[in-house]
Amino acid sequence: MDRVIRVGLLGCGVVGTGTLQILRDNAASLTRRLGAPIEVRKVVAKDRDKPRHDVVRPEQLSFDPEDVLGDPEVDIVVELAGGLEPAGSWVRRALKADKSVVTANKFLLAEHGHELFGLAEDHGVDLYFEAAVCGGIPVIRVLREALASDSVLALRGIVNGTSNFILTRMQQDGLDYSVALAQAQEAGYAEADPSLDVNGGDASHKLTILATLAFGAKLVPSDVAVEGIEHLTALDMKMAARFGRVVKLLATGRSLPGWDGAPGPLDLRVHPALIPTTSPLASVSGALNAVHIEGERLGPCLLTGYGAGAMPTAMSVVSDLVDVGRNLLTHASGRVPQRAVSSAHLARRAVQAPTAHVGRYYLRFPILDRPGVLARIVGVLGAFDVPIEHMLQESRTPGSKEPVQVVVLTHAARDGNIRSTISEVQRLSGIAAPPVAIRLEEA
Ligand SMILES: NC(=O)c1ccc[n+]([C@@H]2O[C@H](COP(=O)([O-])OP(=O)(O)OC[C@H]3O[C@@H](n4cnc5c(N)ncnc54)[C@H](OP(=O)(O)O)[C@@H]3O)[C@@H](O)[C@H]2O)c1
């Protein structure tokens, strides 16, 4: 190969444009670091009417992916279109043509990673994806390379900036969910269809990828128990503050101990949780992301920064390009197993059923202020072995017909028993609205 790394971009939106800007503005330093210039041969987009003159030269622009995928001169395909298709077919096609790929597509890698990484290994090429999880935070490299000598016991992260922005606005400004969501959309953090951000789907894709690397396990998104933030209210944020806590959407992966020192099942969950205001994750506000890793030998390690946005995400894409380029120049593609271990060494690990999880809970029961209701609730909690640590009942505003809130913080209880408690309490007379259960985590 001559000493030029030739790149084709599929997608020129937020991240694609940022990638082209960095490649243009940092060309000299990138060439020094890589030992060869990076040449962008083609940039493929869909909409012919969008202006892109500031970053794409007219002869670079194409609307036909074949101009990248069918070009034998292209060494690295950068997939920045997103979604499962046509991005998935493009990545397959590139890998089968012995081209390395850089992508930011967590959805594709969480759903089809095993097939795609297998293809990369079979063809002796790289499939790099630092930008796919937590945008600009180099968490993939840390898990893949820096922690090669350690065992990850647990990781816990705030990995979706949109939901974190919404929760921060609800917590700090007392906004209702729908108002905070509208603000996130106005600020450009949430998509027109924000479902995957707020229902925990995006975070579960990222956790699937992170946990695969952290635990060397073969995982799919359905291994993660998922709950979103759509049902949270400003009232729960206010209550959380009364207990010295904030509400965060946490992605948690833990390796549970098994028998005789053997690894037990994995505990993989995405859900809102009340965490102490003193926790390092509590101050991760707005669109910031963070991942807290607990290594057996390293101990705790916190990585935080911007998990999205053109520049932080494109920075990760270009760093991947440099790494993949170095591998091409030294004929070392595939030298570093992309998921910390090769596909053949990914272990099958059992995953703990969500109902088996044991932890503490915040429970809120909106009740009618009548005698006996509280006693019946306490009876149900006792019947399902849910130990009460703290209980408070709001005083009623004189003359108000509004429900009164009863809040319980529990000691450790089984998730399955909490679910049974909630459905049983819902059937009691004097319950004004469905009860709310949110996990407590010490994070
Ligand atoms: N945005 C972020 O902050 C961020 C952070 C981390 C990861 N990511 C990931 O990065 C990837 C790209 O995200 P983005 O925000 O840059 O998306 P985006 O702004 O919507 O850009 C997507 C690009 O792909 C092009 N495209 C889509 N379908 C196409 C098709 N069928 N043929 C040709 N071009 C097509 C679009 O063309 P047009 O320009 O013509 O519409 C656009 O240029 C996604 O996987 C996303 O999950 C994004």
* Ligand 1 mean position, distance from CA 82 (Å): 5
Active site residues: 206
pLDDT on residue 2 = 59
* Ligand 1 mean position, distance from CA 185 (Å): 17
161 lines ligand 1 (CB under 6 A): no
* Ligand 1 mean position, distance from CA 337 (Å): 26
- What residue spans of 174-263 are helical by DSSP H? 177-186, 195-198, 201-215, 234-242
Instruction: Give me the tens of pLDDT residue by residue for the chain, a chain 443 residues long.
Output: 458 999 999 999 999 999 999 999 999 999 999 999 999 999 999 999 999 988 999 999 999 999 999 999 999 999 999 999 999 999 999 999 999 999 999 999 999 999 999 999 999 999 999 999 999 999 999 999 999 999 999 999 999 999 999 999 999 999 999 999 999 999 888 777 899 999 999 999 999 999 999 999 999 999 999 999 999 999 999 999 999 999 999 999 999 988 887 889 999 999 999 999 999 999 999 989 999 999 999 999 999 999 999 999 999 999 999 999 999 999 999 999 999 999 999 999 999 999 999 999 999 999 998 899 999 999 999 999 999 999 999 877 777 888 999 999 999 999 999 999 999 999 999 999 999 999 999 97
pLDDT on residue 259 = 83
78 lines ligand 1 (CB under 6 A): no
* Ligand 1 mean position, distance from CA 15 (Å): 7
Closest ligand 1 atom to Cα of 105:
45
pLDDT on residue 154 = 97
DSSP string computed for 151-175: -EEEEEEE--HHHHHHHHHHHHH--
pLDDT on residue 396 = 77
- DSSP reduced 3-state for 254: strand
Q: Which of 287, 249, 289 lies closest to 270 in space, CA to CA?
A: 249
Token pair, residue 114, equals 């095993």
d(CA 65, CA 42): 9
386 lines ligand 1 (CB under 6 A): no
* Ligand 1 mean position, distance from CA 13 (Å): 5
Alpha carbon nearest to ligand 1 atom 19, residue: 13
pTM of the model: 0.96
Q: Which of 416, 365, 352, 412 lies closest to 391 in space, CA to CA?
A: 365
Alpha carbon nearest to ligand 1 atom 10, residue: 104
Q: What share of the chain is helix, strand, coil (3-state, %, to 5)?
A: 40, 25, 35
Token pair, residue 127, equals 């499939």
pLDDT on residue 159 = 98
12 lines ligand 1 (CB under 6 A): yes
Which residue among 68, 80, 137, 164 has the greatest number of ligand 1 atoms within 8 angstroms of its CB, and so is best to mutate? 80
